Structure 1
Amino acid sequence: MNAGFSAYLNVLRFGAALVVLMSHFGFVRYSGGRWLWIREFNFGSDAVIIFFVLSGLVVAQAASRKRSGLGGFAFDRLTRLWSVAIPALVIGFTLDRIGARIAPSAYEGWFYVPLPFDEQMWRGMSFSNQWGGMATRLGTNGPYWSLSYEAAYYALFAVGFYLRGLWRVLLLAVGLWVFGLNIMLLMPAWLMGAALYFWLARGVLPRRHLALLLAVVPVLAYGAAVATGLPEALLVVTDPLDEVVNLRFSDEPIWSAILGALVAVHLMGMAGLLTDTSLSRVAPRAAWAAGASFSLYLMHYPALQFFGGIMPKSRYATLNEAMLLAAVLMFCALFARLFERPLPTLRAALLRFAMWIRPNPARAPHGSPAD
């Protein structure tokens, strides 16, 4: 993946995080329904599918490039998740409890599940909050559901990529049973991202005219599908299953697979269009913005709920909305500065500590401060 294509992926990742933020901002309790059209078109859920495709692409690249084995893969993935997830759980719990005390009426609804601190921590740190039949919401942090899916995909990919023979078959079977049907229904989109990387790694990119076609047609197809109501029409197929097992966040598996394919084809075309010098001017800014996308995605909902509940309101709706969005964005930027951006430093420190307590290089954990 060249520099231009990497810059585009960074832009796409940050843009998807902003779409998810705006889809939740569209709730009436935050913006009076003026942005509800984002939710009606379901752009937020579609943005999560984009994240899944990007995740499969990046994880497959990391596993193939580093060749550090299962231990190194686990180290990289867990540090990536926990470095943001653990502070998100603690700070999110704190914001929820303080906000519910200051403005209790703002927290009365389906969107807040006040779990005890220890339960929220172990469910969140294990990423089991959506596995099997144990699904639950962690406070107000609705977006945390996708981390449960991501962790499951990492585990299954690691088993398939690093193990062989009977162990691979047995652990894949156990994983499928533990994670459950809902997790598996959205995995095709993630796998399309991984497959895209292995195709890109061959180094055979589409020529310019074909690349342009591959880049543009999926975007037009997505617009046509949304305009004609295709995602809603496809629900007819899975509604009977949803009534039996409660698919929750996986209630659009057919559309999610189609969208994953569209995203993968679009990225295939963009990889052929973008060169090392493409997007060179915006590459540093794109990388900086993408460096906060995980924090923006994971912390915006608790921040929206907290600031939306405690901030004084003026008689100007536009001003209220601008102030709320500004508060949320600044909060997430500070969170990213404290917890997401220092990931390379954290990884290096952990590796030094591991070498100190286990000085034998052959037994030291593999990995790299780079993501």
Structure 2
Amino acid sequence: MTRGFSLWLDAVRALAAFAVLFGHMAHVRFTGGDYYFLRDWNIASDAVVVFFVISGLVIAFAAERDGDLKTYSYNRATRIFTVIVPALFLTLIFDAIGTRITMDAYPLGYYQHLSWTEFLFRGLTLTPQWLGVMEPVRLGSNGPIWSLSYELAYYMIFGFAVFLSGARRLVLIALVAFLAGVPILALMPAWLLGVLVWRRVSSPDAASLSRPVAWTLAIGAPVAMVALKWAGVADALAALTARAFAPADYNTVLLYSDEVMWNSLLAVLMALHLIGVAPLMAASKWRESEGLAKAIRWLAGGSFSLYVMHYPTLQLLDASLPESLPLYDLWLLGITLAVCFGFAALFERPLKTYRRWLATLTRRPAAVPAE
């Protein structure tokens, strides 16, 4: 992967994380409806699809570098759990404080009380949305963790497909698919598009893409996303999905994948964008010493923390910040960012250090640092 393309992926990842934050801040209960157009545009949900495509690309790249299932699994697990474990415990603490201040800040549908044992079991196994043998749950106020249930299933299925063979591969893939359930599988094609992007941009044929075509894809795909959204295509596809599932309620069946048709189209456009960007950024003159590049890397380096910690932080602040506070929205945003990036400094950015410690404790060679 070229340095320029990697930097672009970091920029998109950071923008997607902020889109999720702003999309959730736009809820009426947080900011009074002043930014509700962001809810109407559903930018938070769309940003998660962008994450899925980038995730598929990065994991396909990392799998090639890891070389075997053991290293692949170690790198995926350490990347996720060094962040998710403290995030789960902080969610429990934040929710405990906030619900004691006022339950009005924790309305039905945005908060689910679970026993701490169920909370930790479903959280630490990343299965709040695995439906094969369990009911879906929301981990307190931390709704965004739903997407990690999806990611875990994709990581496992992809790892088994790449590194195993024969009956064992088929059985394990089928088992994960069954346990994950239909909603998670419905969005897996969007994730796999990222894998296909990596196969394309890393192949010898990638250089054959002409600059006019690359520019057309790089610019045209995002323009098409906005134009299609503006034209109401997302709503039309949702209506088509509703008719396809009638008389059943498609929202109940698909849960977080209820926009599967629009999400799939969005993923295709995102994949085309990245295919176009790759050769253009390979020829760019970015350098790690440049200020903008450093800023992008820094923001992207805290994007996972921003994603998993912003919602319980917003909920706690909604319960505790006085509404009469001058510049309330800025305080809400500023404190949330401070909490999330402070969390990143403690748990996300020191990943290599944690891997070295774990390697020392287990007396095994440190794995290749990877996403």
Q: Same fold (TM over 0.5)?
A: yes
Contact 1:46 1:256 in 2 (8 A): yes
In structure 2, distance between residues paired with 1:173 and 1:66: 24
Q: Deviations over 1:154-189 (max 9, x none)?
A: 000011000111111111111211111000001111
Aligned residue in 1 for 2:342: 334
State the match for 1:216 in structure 2. 219
Partner of 1:354: 362
Q: How far apart, CA to CA, are the structure 2 residues paired with 1:159 and 1:121? A: 26
State the match for 2:305 in structure 1: 295
The 5-angstrom pairing of residues 170-249 of structure 1 reads 170-203=171-204, 204-205=206-207, 206-239=209-242, 240-241=244-245, 243=249, 246-249=253-256
Name the counterpart of 1:33. 33
Matched letter for residue 238 of structure 2 = L
Amino acid at match of 2:312: P
CA distance in 2 between counterparts of 1:109 and 1:243 reads 20
Per-residue CA shift, 1:320-358, capped at 9, x if unaligned?
A: 101110010000011001110111110111112222xxx
Kept after mapping to 1: 8 A contact 2:62/2:370? no
Give the superposed CA RMSD.
1.5
Question: Is 2:285 aligned against 1:278?
Answer: yes
TM-score (norm 1): 0.94
Tell me if structure 1 keeps the 8 A contact 2:302–2:341: yes
Superposed structure 1 runs of 4+ greater than 6 Å apart: none
Counterpart mapping for 1:291-330 below 5 A: 291-314=301-324, 316=326, 319-330=327-338
Letter in 1 for 2:154: Y
Distance across 2 between alignment mates of 1:277 and 1:243: 49
2:97 aligned partner: 98
Q: CA deviation at 1:278?
A: 3.5
User: In structure 1, what is the Cα distance between the partners aligned to 2:146 and 2:365?
Assistant: 29
2:159 and 2:370 mapped to 1: Cα distance? 19
Task: Return 101-110 or 121-130, whichever deviates more.
Answer: 101-110
Aligned 8 A contact 1:214 1:266 in 2: yes
CA contact (8 A) 1:196 1:264 kept: yes
Residue in 1 aligned with 2:267?
Answer: 260
- Give the match for residue 55 of structure 1: 55
Name the SS for the 2:129 alignment partner. Answer: coil
Q: How many residues align?
A: 360
Structure 1 segments unaligned to the other structure (5+ residues): 356-363
Residue 367 of structure 1 corresponds to 367
1:46 corresponding residue in structure 2: 46
Deviations 1:218-249 (A, max 9, x none): 11211111011101101123225361652110
